[in-house]
Structure 1
Amino acid sequence: MSSAVQLSKRFREVLLDGLWIANTNFKDQLSGVSWEQAVTKVSSLNTIAMLTFHIHYYIAGIINVFEGGALEIKDQYSFDLPVIESQAQWEELLSRLWVDAEKFAGLVERIPDDQLDEVFADEKYGTYRRNIDGMIEHSYYHLGQITLIKKLLTSQ
C-alpha cells in the first residue's frame, strides 16, 4: 500500500469511519447532536459547532491547494462560525464536512508518493506529508475536545 493511500486511510479513520486510535470518529461523535447542543457553550470551551467549523475550515483550505489553488486560509478566521439557528443549518455544516472529508481523502490517495515530500504551498509550511499528518493530528485533538464537551452536555 502506498504512503498516500495509508495517509488517506488514517484521515478517513478520524473523520469518517475509524475506531482504531480513539475508538470513535467525528461522524460517530457528531451523529445525533442537535443544533442546540452544538451551539451550547460549556464554561470557556469552544462549542461543538465551532470545533466542527474549525476542522472543516482547514480541510477545505487544504483541498484548495491539492486542486492547484493557493493556500488562502488564515488561522485568524478558523473559528469564524456563522450563526447557527436551526437544525437545517447545523446539518448543512455537517454535510459539507462529510463531503469535503471524503474529497480530501480521495485527493490524498491520488498523490504520488514522491510528491509527499515536496513543498506544500510555501516552504514555511513544510511538505505535503507534514500537512496531511498535521491535519490528522489536529483532527484527533479536536475530536477529543468534542467527545468531552458532548459528555459534559449530556451529563447536565
Structure 2
Amino acid sequence: MSSASQLAKRFREVLLDGLWIANTNFKDQLKDVTWEQAVTKVGPLNTIAMLTYHIDYYIAGLVNVFEGGDLEIRDKYSFDLPPIESQEQWEALLNKLWKDSEKLASLLEQLPDPKMDEVFVDEKYGTYRRNIDGMIEHAYYHLGQVTLIKKLLAN
C-alpha cells in the first residue's frame, strides 16, 4: 500500500469509520448529537458545533489545495461558525464534514508517493506528508474534546 493510501486510511479512521486509535471517530461521536447539544456551551470550552466547523474548515482548505487551488484558509477564521438554529442546519454542517472528509481521503489516495515529500504550498508549511499527518493529529485532538464535551453534556 502506498504512503498516500496509508495516510488516507488513517484520515478516514479518525473522521469516518475507524476504531483503532481512539476506539471511536467523529462520525460515531456526532451521530446522535442534536443541534441543541451541538451549540450548548460548557464553561469556557468550545461547543461541539464550533469544533465540528473548525475541523471541516481545515479539511475544506486542504481539499481546495489538492484540487489545484490556493491555500485560502486562515487560523483567525477557523472558528467563525455561522449560527446554528435548527437540526437541519446542524445536519448540513455534519454532511459537509463527511463529504469534505471523503473527498480529501479520495484525493489523498491519488497522490503519487514522491509528491508526499514535496513542499506543500510554501516551504514554511513543510511537506504534503507533514500537513496530512498534522491534519490527522489535529482531528484526534479535537475528537477528544468532542468526546469529553458530550460526556459533560450528558451529566
CA positional deviation for 1:34: 0.1
Return the alpha-carbon distance in structure 1 between the equivalents of residues 2 and 78 of structure 2. 31
Question: 1:76 maps to which residue?
Answer: 76
Question: Deviations 1:6-61 (Å, cap 9, x if unpaired)?
Answer: 00000000000000000000000001100000000000000000000000000000
For the residue of structure 1 that corresponds to 2:50, the secondary structure is: helix
Question: 2:123 maps to which residue?
Answer: 123
Return the alpha-carbon distance in structure 2 between the equivalents of residues 52 and 64 of structure 1. 18
In structure 1, what residue type is equivalent to 2:8? Answer: S
Provide TM-score, normalisation by structure 2.
1.00
Return the alpha-carbon distance in structure 1 between the equivalents of residues 126 and 105 of structure 2. 19
Tell me the C-alpha RMSD between the 2 structures: 0.3
In structure 1, what residue type is equivalent to 2:84? Answer: I
Question: 2:149 maps to which residue?
Answer: 149
Return the alpha-carbon distance in structure 1 between the equivalents of residues 121 and 90 of structure 2. 31
Return the alpha-carbon distance in structure 1 between the equivalents of residues 33 and 72 of structure 2. 30
In structure 2, what residue type is equivalent to 1:106? Answer: S
Name the count of aligned residue pairs: 155
Return the alpha-carbon distance in structure 1 between the equivalents of residues 46 and 59 of structure 2. 19
In structure 1, what residue type is equivalent to 2:118? Answer: E
CA positional deviation for 1:88: 0.2
Question: Deviations 1:106-156 (Å, cap 9, x if unpaired)?
Answer: 00011000000000011110000000000000000000000000000011x
Question: 2:16 maps to which residue?
Answer: 16
Provide TM-score, normalisation by structure 1.
0.99
In structure 1, what residue type is equivalent to 2:62? Answer: I
1:13-52 residue pairs with structure 2 within 5 A? 13-52=13-52
Identity of aligned residues (%): 78
1:82-121 residue pairs with structure 2 within 5 A? 82-121=82-121
Q: Flag as ranges the 4+ runs of structure 1 deviating above 4 A.
A: none
Unmatched segments (≥5 aa) in structure 2 = none
